[in-house]
């Protein structure tokens, strides 16, 4: 490719070319003696405009040539920079001749490095002066030359001198064209000796015989230094004095390196079909200016053809400085065979030659004078096709088309004018262009193979035959074919993060100066498909658009489409075949669950990571750590992608990721938190004997806890913080407790101990104080403890709660308090409230509560302000002694639900119990539970006592009482409570004038969500979907469920179950107690009994009458008594009997 061509491409792809284009010529070396001259030059080149010549000397530079007086500047044609240097001792070393020029507007710098080496040699002053004998010889030689020239005046024709640049071991031919008669050939050697050809006995010089093309010819070589110089070959007719002479000067191409090769390029053999009397004009074009143009005949004659030279049948076709073109013909039988055309050129890069070997063969041996066509066999092409598709193939020419034919894979030829045809192949008429075109298709198996299409064209007596061999191949995606050497460019890679079912367009846009040839797609499996007629790859659709050079629309249908694809566009750009590749990746990621998404681990422990569910491709598992640390496979959990990282440190905190999968990338992210090992301490606890304690101890992030009391009994074992649950504190709880805890990031449990102090209930922990500072009152409570008081509150006699917030004042209240620490690690915590301008409502008994981490401590304070007790009425209202009262004196609850009754007193309670109306006593204690009861309240120390019953019946209602004994009083106090227990729902089953009726209503009418009825055989339905024979008369808004049954069947007469659902509550279910089946049976039995009684009585009366009328008086009396007694018994059988002892 020419330099200008590559520069154009550089501008096209990379932008503007900047900076000099540097061409370094082959270096030269001179071994010379002092006094000799060194000549160096840089030849000119087409397209280059020289602007400056510079020289780099051994001492530095560069310098302009005019700066150095020991350098002679030579100006001659075909040379940009040329100098001569007289050799002295000072010039030895490395030099560089520099030529600056421009080429197509771009700066070009050409450099010719050369080295001057001075070799030793004798030097005498007399060497500069010629001896007398030498001068005489020169004069004699000049005289002979002058004599010879004088003799030849008017008798010698001097042909144009030829200058041959050569190298060692080459052979140079000197010849005279054959002009039709024999000549006597003579040779004048470089030393001016004239020798006839028959007498030549010079080593390296050979006389060649006459031929069709030459009359005289000598071959000089293999060349050595003694054969250089000016040779002259002359020819003269035997009967004439006139002669013609050809002068050829032979010189080394490189004086310093006679053996140096030059650039030589041989073109492929040109098989030229010819016909007799035809004329050929082959041409070769080299780089730079043409020096000599040569033709080598089949006899091996190397003929230099000048514009004016005329060999028989061989002349220059045109005079050009850049090309060598020779006309050969009219062709004769002697001209058939091997020829070679070559030209010698000199460019900026030096001497170069271009050779064209040719073989002249008769186009038609049977008819040698028939017109020959210049045969051009085009590069074979391959058409990769899908069966069923159609292709078009053609060869084009100029002028008119003489014939068009094709050769099928079978070897049979078919012509457009012939009668035979090949099924599936048609000659196509082409309008507007000169071409031989055929259409092949739809393609079947028999059409696969090697074809050839041949077109013959005639353009103004220029006859050309163009043959295009091509092969039709069925596409094999596993073995893609491309036999063209292409320049490959890669477009930036693309990545598509997608999902199954998504669609994407992948496009290579059409570029400038580009001609598209074909598009291909390479799958992740390596199979390559051509986007052409018949293309069928599932999920891939070809995009047809004038702005698209190559494009597809891809729908991701399955995992098989995941991976790296390549979209390939094969084009030509400025006649250069190119391949543009777009690599794109279809990437799908899915998140999977790890065994644990978050892991906290203590430093130094081993980290185990794995997935939640096993995978089939465990060989693809890999672990991505937040740092480049080592890890290993957890073999027992290999199917779960298990990994093990030993002895983790704080640097291992962060996101770890497990990945697996060949196609879809499955990812599981695990957050790992590495914590340092720490010392855990648990504070001791203090509780009051008999009190209840429920609290959590230990760090907030505990994973597991096991708790043992001083007796070694496990009282708690579970996850999370430790829970101490003491229903009623006793002396057994006093002592050392053992706690085994599991920490996050640990496997082994850590054991700790702490002490529980149980104090008697009589020991007051909260100390109270009331200070009257008229017009204010300061009330305060203090607690001595080793734990911090978290909150403090006060309750006034009316039940209003006040929070003692540090440093806060609001309305009539302000915080008052302090904290003093002792050496025993105990602190006295004080909190209080200042009441400014207290009122009557503030007088009475107050309660304070001080909350710590473990429990709340209570104290009671009497607030009495004498200046407010100015009347007896106020004095009577103020309560100064603790009095027990019921929190709610009337308690009402549905049957079966939990019932709470409570009472309170402004003092510490020692014991408490509740008494039912029937005299049953229920004792309650904080923390103690029984089958039926549970304590409710803040504890006896708070003056509160309450009881919870899980479920009471209606018979349990009535007058109840709460009884308490105070710690500071011997007298027991009681409070009355009225308890009312009612049924939630009543169900009635009775006979209605319209049929049977089942009704249920809620005790406290509320809107119902639904009513449900269940028959004794299990048939169930709601009021919204009653079956045939039933009618719902329910009123859900008023809480009524009612069902009317028209038929008094046996099933309908049995008891029914009714369920009602109140919005927001649980379902209520009741069953009717009336059995109408038994009731109706009783009625039927009664009617039958009356009928039987009437019949029997009639018979008896009849018997009596007969007996009375016929029997004796005594018998009549006995009969009368018997009948009366029987009648009474029968009558009494129908009456309801009274129970024994009843009234």
Tell me the pLDDT tens digit for each residue of 685-720. Answer: 877 776 777 888 888 878 899 999 998 899 999 998
Does 1120 score more than 70 pLDDT? no
Q: Answer for the pair 8, 47: CB distance below 8 angstroms, yes or no.
A: no
Work out the pLDDT band at 9, boundaries 50, 70, 90.
Answer: very low
| Predicted confidence (pLDDT) per residue in 466-492, tens digit | 999 999 999 888 888 766 688 888 999
Does 6 score more than 50 pLDDT? no
Instruction: Considering only residues 586 and 80, tell me which one the structure prediction assigns the higher pLDDT.
Output: 586
Task: Break the chain into its structural domains and give their ranges.
Answer: 19-121, 156-260, 374-474, 497-588, 597-675, 685-759, 768-877, 885-979, 985-1074, 1085-1131
Does 762 score more than 60 pLDDT? no
Instruction: Give the distance, in angstroms, between the CA of residue 477 and the centroid of all CA atoms in the same chain.
Output: 28
**What pLDDT is recorded for position 1142?**
32
SS3 204: coil
Instruction: Tell me the mean pLDDT in the region 783-798.
Output: 85
C-alpha distances out from residue 746 to 676, 749, 945, Å: 11, 8, 45
Alpha helix (H) ranges present in 960-1112?
1050-1053, 1076-1110
**What pLDDT is recorded for position 1004?**
74
Does 1080 score more than 60 pLDDT? no
Comparing 648-657, 1004-1013, 1022-1031, the range with the smallest average pLDDT is: 1004-1013
**What pLDDT is recorded for position 223?**
92
On whether the 374-474 domain is CATH 2.60.40.10, my answer is yes
Work out the pLDDT band at 138, boundaries 50, 70, 90.
Answer: low
Does 745 score more than 50 pLDDT? yes
The number of beta carbons lying within 10 Å of the beta carbon of residue 327 is 15
Number of H helices, E strands in the chain: 6, 85
Question: Domain 685-759: what homologous superfamily?
Answer: Immunoglobulins (2.60.40.10)
Spatial separation of the C-alpha atoms in residues 923 and 935, rounded to whole Å = 9
| Predicted confidence (pLDDT) per residue in 419-442, tens digit | 888 999 999 988 878 899 999 999
Cis peptide before 574 (omega within 30 of 0): no
Instruction: Considering only residues 1133 and 1124, tell me which one the structure prediction assigns the higher pLDDT.
Output: 1124
| Predicted confidence (pLDDT) per residue in 545-573, tens digit | 888 999 999 999 998 999 999 999 989 88
Does 914 score more than 70 pLDDT? yes
**What pLDDT is recorded for position 810?**
82
C-alpha distances out from residue 82 to 103, 113, 264, Å: 20, 13, 25
Task: Tell me which residue of 34, 163, 51 sits closest to 42, measured CA to CA.
Answer: 51
Does 1128 score more than 70 pLDDT? no
Name the region of 963 (left: φ>0; alpha: ψ -120 to 50; beta: rest). Answer: beta
Does 856 score more than 70 pLDDT? yes
Instruction: Name the phi and psi angles at 684, rounded to 5.
Output: -70, 160
Using a pLDDT cut of 70, give the percent of the chain over it.
Answer: 87
Task: Tell me which residue of 725, 791, 717, 712 sits closest to 749, measured CA to CA.
Answer: 717
Spatial separation of the C-alpha atoms in residues 667 and 593, rounded to whole Å = 8
Q: Average pLDDT, whole number, for the chain? A: 84
Q: Answer for the pair 798, 749: CB distance below 8 angstroms, yes or no.
A: no
Does 353 score more than 80 pLDDT? yes
List the CATH code of the domain at 597-675: 2.60.40.10
Q: Can you name the CATH fold of 885-979?
A: Immunoglobulin-like (2.60.40)
Instruction: Considering only residues 729 and 546, tell me which one the structure prediction assigns the higher pLDDT.
Output: 546
**What pLDDT is recorded for position 696?**
84
* CB neighbour burial string for 1074-1094, b if at least 16 within 10 angstroms, e if fewer: bebbeeeeeeeeeeeeeeeee
Structure letter (DSSP) for residue 929: B
Instruction: Tell me the mean pLDDT in the region 772-781.
Output: 88
Alpha helix (H) ranges present in 474-629?
none
Task: Tell me which residue of 170, 202, 177 sits closest to 188, measured CA to CA.
Answer: 202
Q: Answer for the pair 337, 359: CB distance below 8 angstroms, yes or no.
A: yes
Contacts of 796 (CB under 8 A, 6+ apart): 802, 841, 842, 844, 846
Using a pLDDT cut of 90, give the percent of the chain over it.
Answer: 38
**What pLDDT is recorded for position 354?**
95
C-alpha distances out from residue 929 to 551, 694, 899, 949, Å: 82, 14, 15, 11
CATH of 156-260, one of 2.60.40.10, 3.30.70.360, 3.40.1160.10, 2.40.30.10: 2.60.40.10
pTM above 0.85, yes or no: no
The top-level CATH class assigned to 497-588 is: mainly beta
Q: Answer for the pair 907, 943: CB distance below 8 angstroms, yes or no.
A: yes
Task: Tell me which residue of 873, 442, 945 sits closest to 692, measured CA to CA.
Answer: 945
Q: Can you name the CATH fold of 19-121?
A: Immunoglobulin-like (2.60.40)
SS3 15: coil
C-alpha distances out from residue 13 to 511, 550, 670, 751, Å: 11, 19, 47, 75
* CB neighbour burial string for 522-548, b if at least 16 within 10 angstroms, e if fewer: bbeeeebbbbbeebebeebebeeeeeb
For domain 768-877, the CATH architecture is Sandwich (2.60)
**What pLDDT is recorded for position 174?**
96
The number of beta carbons lying within 10 Å of the beta carbon of residue 284 is 22
Question: Domain 985-1074: what homologous superfamily?
Answer: Immunoglobulins (2.60.40.10)
Does 128 score more than 70 pLDDT? no
Work out the pLDDT band at 1041, boundaries 50, 70, 90.
Answer: very high
**What pLDDT is recorded for position 15?**
34
Instruction: Tell me the mean pLDDT in the region 240-250.
Output: 92
Instruction: Tell me the mean pLDDT in the region 172-196.
Output: 93
SS3 268: coil
């Amino acid at each position: 490719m020419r330099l200008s061509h590559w520069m154009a491409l550089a501008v096209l792809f990379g932008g503007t070319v900047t900076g000099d284009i540097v061409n370094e010529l082959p270096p030269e070396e001179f071994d010379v003696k002092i006094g000799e001259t060194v000549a160096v030059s840089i030849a000119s080149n087409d397209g280059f405009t020289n602007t400056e010549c510079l020289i780099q000397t051994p001492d530095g530079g560069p310098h302009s040539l005019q700066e150095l007086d020991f350098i002679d500047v030579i100006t001659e044609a075909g040379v940009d920079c040329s100098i001569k240097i007289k050799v002295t001792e000072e010039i030895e070393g490395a030099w560089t001749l520099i030529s600056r020029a421009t080429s197509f507007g771009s700066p070009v710098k050409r450099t010719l490095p050369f080295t001057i080496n001075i070799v030793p040699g004798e030097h005498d002053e007399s060497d500069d002066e010629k001896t007398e004998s030498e001068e005489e010889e020169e004069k004699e030689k000049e005289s002979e030359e002058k004599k010879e020239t004088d003799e030849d005046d008017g008798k010698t024709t001097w042909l144009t001198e030829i200058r041959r640049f050569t190298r060692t071991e080459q052979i140079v031919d000197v010849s005279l064209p054959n002009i039709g008669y024999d000549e006597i050939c003579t040779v004048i050697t470089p030393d001016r000796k004239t020798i006839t050809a028959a007498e030549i006995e010079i080593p390296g010089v050979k006389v060649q015989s006459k031929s069709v093309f030459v009359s005289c010819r000598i071959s000089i070589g293999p060349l050595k230094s003694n054969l250089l110089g000016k040779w002259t070959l002359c020819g003269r007719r035997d009967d004439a004095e006139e002669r013609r002479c050809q002068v050829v000067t032979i010189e080394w191409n490189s004086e310093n390196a006679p053996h140096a090769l030059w650039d030589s390029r041989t073109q492929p053999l040109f098989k030229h079909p010819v016909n007799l009397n035809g004329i050929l004009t082959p041409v070769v074009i080299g780089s730079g200016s043409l020096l000599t143009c040569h033709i080598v005949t089949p006899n091996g004659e190397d003929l230099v053809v000048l514009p004016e030279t005329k060999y028989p049948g061989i002349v220059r076709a045109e005079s050009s400085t850049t090309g060598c073109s020779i006309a050969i013909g009219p062709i004769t039988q002697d001209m058939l065979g091997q020829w070679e055309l070559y030209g010698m050129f000199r460019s900026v890069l030096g001497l170069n030659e271009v050779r064209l070997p040719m073989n002249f063969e008769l186009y038609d041996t049977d008819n040698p004078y028939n017109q020959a066509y210049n045969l051009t066999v085009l590069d074979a092409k391959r058409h990769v096709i899908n069966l069923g598709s159609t292709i078009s193939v053609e060869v084009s020419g100029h002028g008119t088309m003489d014939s068009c034919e094709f050769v099928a894979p079978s070897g049979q030829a078919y012509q457009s004018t012939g009668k035979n045809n090949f099924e599936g192949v048609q000659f196509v008429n082409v309008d507007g262009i000169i071409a031989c075109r055929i259409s092949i298709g739809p393609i079947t198996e028999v059409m696969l193979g090697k074809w050839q299409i041949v077109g013959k064209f005639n353009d103004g007596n220029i006859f050309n035959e163009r043959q295009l061999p091509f092969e039709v191949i069925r596409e094999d995606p596993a073995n893609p074919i491309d036999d063209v050497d292409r320049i490959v460019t890669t477009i930036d890679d693309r990545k598509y993060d997608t999902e199954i079912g998504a669609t994407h367009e992948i496009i290579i846009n059409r570029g400038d100066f580009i001609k598209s040839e074909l598009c291909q797609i390479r799958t992740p499996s390596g199979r390559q498909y051509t986007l052409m007629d018949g293309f069928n790859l599932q999920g891939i659709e070809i995009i047809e658009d004038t702005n698209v050079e190559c494009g597809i629309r891809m729908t991701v249908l399955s995992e098989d489409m995941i991976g790296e694809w390549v979209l390939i566009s094969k084009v030509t750009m400025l006649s250069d075949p190119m391949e543009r590749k777009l690599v794109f990746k279809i990437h799908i990621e899915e998140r999977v669950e790890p065994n644990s998404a978050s892991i906290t681990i203590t430093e130094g422990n081993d980290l185990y990571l794995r997935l939640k569910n096993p995978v089939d491709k465990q060989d693809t598992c890999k672990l991505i750590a937040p740092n480049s640390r080592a890890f290993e496979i957890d073999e027992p959990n290999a199917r779960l992608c298990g990994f093990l990282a030993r002895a983790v440190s704080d640097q291992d905190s962060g996101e770890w990721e497990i990945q697996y999968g060949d196609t879809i990338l499955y990812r599981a992210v695990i957050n790992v938190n590495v914590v340092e090992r720490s010392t855990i301490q648990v504070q001791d606890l203090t509780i009051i004997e008999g009190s209840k304690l429920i609290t959590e101890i230990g760090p907030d992030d505990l994973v597991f806890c096991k708790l043992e009391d001083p007796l070694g009994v496990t009282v708690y074992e579970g996850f999370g913080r430790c829970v101490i649950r003491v229903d009623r504190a006793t002396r057994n709880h006093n002592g050392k407790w053992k706690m085994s805890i599991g920490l996050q990031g640990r496997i082994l449990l850590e054991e700790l101990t702490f002490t529980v102090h149980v104090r008697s209930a009589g020991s007051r922990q909260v100390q109270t104080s009331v200070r009257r500072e008229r017009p204010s009152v300061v009330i305060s409570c203090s607690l001595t403890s080793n734990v911090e008081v978290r909150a403090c509150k006060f309750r006034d006699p009316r039940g209003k709660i006040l929070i003692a917030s540090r440093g806060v004042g609001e309305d009539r209240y302000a915080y008052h308090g302090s904290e003093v620490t002792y050496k025993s690690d105990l602190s006295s915590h004080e909190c209080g409230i200042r009441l400014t301008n207290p009122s009557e409502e503030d007088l009475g008994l107050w309660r304070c509560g001080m909350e710590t981490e473990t429990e709340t401590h209570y104290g009671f304070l009497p607030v009495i302000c004498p200046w407010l007790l100015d009347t007896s009425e106020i004095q009577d209202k103020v309560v100064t002694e603790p009095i027990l009262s019921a929190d709610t004196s009337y308690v009402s609850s549905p049957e079966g639900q939990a019932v709470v009754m409570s009472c309170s007193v402004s003092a510490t309670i020692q014991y408490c119990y509740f008494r039912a109306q029937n005299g049953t006593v229920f004792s309650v204690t904080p923390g103690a539970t029984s089958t039926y009861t549970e304590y409710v309240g803040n504890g006896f120390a708070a003056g509160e006592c309450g009881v919870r019953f899980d479920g009471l019946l209606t018979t349990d209602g009535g007058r109840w009482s709460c009884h308490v004994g105070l710690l500071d009083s011997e007298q027991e106090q009681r409070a009355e409570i009225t308890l009312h227990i009612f049924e939630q729902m009543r169900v009635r089953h009775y006979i209605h004038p319209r049929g049977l009726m089942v009704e249920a209503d809620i005790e406290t009418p509320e809107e119902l969500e639904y009513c449900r009825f269940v028959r004794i055989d299990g048939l169930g339905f709601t009021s919204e979907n009653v079956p045939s024979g039933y009618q719902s008369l329910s009123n859900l808004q008023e809480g009524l469920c009612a069902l009317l049954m028209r038929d008094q069947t046996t099933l309908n007469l049995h008891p029914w179950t009714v369920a009602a659902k109140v919005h927001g509550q649980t379902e209520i279910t009741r069953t009717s107690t009336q059995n109408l089946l038994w009731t109706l049976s009783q009625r039927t039995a009664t009617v039958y009994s009356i009928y039987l009684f009437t019949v029997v009585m009639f018979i008896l009366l009849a018997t009596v009458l007969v007996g009375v009328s016929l029997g004796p008086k005594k018998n009549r009396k006995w009969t009368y008594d018997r009948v009366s007694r029987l009648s009474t018994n029968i009558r009494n059988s129908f009456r309801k009997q009274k129970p024994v002892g009843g009234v």
